Amino acid sequence: MAFFAHQIRRGFSSSAVRNVVIKQVTIIGGGQMGAGIAQVAASTGHSVTLVDTSDDILKKSIKTIEGSLKRVVKKKFADKPEAGEEFIQKVLKNVSTSTDAGSAVKSSDLVLEAIVENLKIKQDLFSRLDKLAPAHTIFASNTSSLPISDISSTTNRLDRFGGLHFFNPVPMMKLVEVIGTSSTSQETFDSLLNFSKVLGKTPVSCKDTPGFIVNRLFVPYLYEAVRLYERGHGSKEDIDIAMKLGVGYPMGPFELSDYIGLDTIKFIMDGWREMDPDNTLFAPSELMDKLVAEGKLGKKTGEGFYKYK
């Protein structure tokens, strides 16, 4: 019975199309995440089109991919530098770039969006692409915090829409959260799970709830670390050391906040507070607000909780 209910929830029907085997991938957004996802997809034999708003940005994306591939190859092909170089060239051949999302999606099995974390902009993008992509094409978002059902609501492919949430840095982090809404079909969900596995990642199944699994637990933790520091209960350095050596996290909460970007973390928390103002887990932090207002957003601006220049 439980199994049956699950199938209904995912919109399974006997006439539904079979699972889509994902070979051609369009990734919209060539920033931190999009470039990383493109690299991993191309490294695992997919044909990737990376889309952004300008050729200059796309040139930077390819440079990032090249730099990251060099780091991967240094380890993977430590004794065979020529094979390593061959691997890099092969991977780069699998990636093409475009500033025209509409044309790029026409031959795609999967359109994965990793653009700015703004609901309206994501909705507009998918609404436009919905009219241009083939019927079988699956749409997915890499959003950190927005409901997938809100992003998909402007399309007519609710059954072929899900979430694929990767982690930064994508080439190193093994997890992918696969998110199904109440309309995502079982076939779509399975295709996304399979795709994650083919990328060499470990997928976990998530509901379309705020922050899915990881961010729902981790964003309040990062904020509580800042509040603990604000209360004068520990220095930033000691809190970072404590979490690294006490529970084995690779980065302490202040290092990780700077790495992700304080604006991103604050944006997520502000959104959740708006939805649930009485939840004390979502309480603000004066220091976080002040640093973001001053443009001290972390590593990317040279200063956040720590200085990087």
Ligand X SMILES: NC(=O)C1=CN([C@@H]2O[C@H](COP(=O)(O)OP(=O)(O)OC[C@H]3O[C@@H](n4cnc5c(N)ncnc54)[C@H](O)[C@@H]3O)[C@@H](O)[C@H]2O)C=CC1
Ligand Y SMILES: CCCCCCCC(=O)CC(=O)SCCNC(=O)CCNC(=O)[C@H](O)C(C)(C)COP(=O)(O)OP(=O)(O)OC[C@H]1O[C@@H](n2cnc3c(N)ncnc32)[C@H](O)[C@@H]1OP(=O)(O)O
Binding site for CoA, residues?
68, 75, 144
Q: Please state, as a whole number, how many other Cβ atoms lie within 10 Å of the Cβ of residue 280.
A: 7
Compute the least distance from the CB of residue 214 to ligand X, in Å.
9
171 binds, among ligand Y, ligand X, none (CB under 5 to 8 A by kind): ligand Y
71 binds, among ligand X, ligand Y, none (CB under 5 to 8 A by kind): ligand Y
User: Is 240 an interacting residue with respect to ligand X (CB under 6 A)?
Assistant: no
Residue 172 DSSP label: T
**Near ligand X by CB under 6 A: residue from 42, 50, 112, 114:** 114
78 binds, among ligand Y, ligand X, none (CB under 5 to 8 A by kind): none
What does residue 50 show for φ and ψ, rounded to 5 degrees? -100, 125
Q: How many CA atoms lie within 13 A of 149 on its CB side?
A: 11
**Near ligand X by CB under 6 A: residue from 24, 26, 32, 39:** 32
Is residue 144 annotated as a catalytic residue, yes or no? Answer: yes
- Of 150, 194, 138, 171, the residue nearest 36 (C-alpha): 171
Distances (CA, A) of 69 to 29, 42, 55, 80, 251: 19, 11, 21, 15, 23
Active-site residue identified among 46, 108, 141, 177: 177
Query: Which residues are CB-neighbours of 79 under 8 A, at least 6 positions away?
Result: none
User: Is 306 an interacting residue with respect to ligand Y (CB under 6 A)?
Assistant: no
Closer residue to ligand Y, CB minimum distance, 75 or 120: 75
**Near ligand X by CB under 6 A: residue from 9, 31, 47, 218:** 31
**Near ligand Y by CB under 6 A: residue from 110, 129, 138, 265:** 265
Site size with ligand Y, rule: CB under 6 A:
22
d(CA 211, CA 215): 5
Q: How many CA atoms lie within 13 A of 30 on its CB side?
A: 26
Is residue 255 annotated as a catalytic residue, yes or no? Answer: no
Q: Which two tokens stand for residue 134?
A: 């083939």
Is residue 19 annotated as a catalytic residue, yes or no? Answer: no
Strand-by-strand arrangement of the 110-113 sheet: 95-98, 47-51, 24-28, 110-113, 138-141, 161-165, 175-180, 202-207
Is residue 165 annotated as a catalytic residue, yes or no? Answer: yes
Q: Which residues are marked as active site?
A: 144, 165, 177, 215
> Applying CB under 6 A, which residues contact ligand X?
28-34, 51-53, 57, 114-117, 121, 125, 142-144, 166, 168, 260, 264
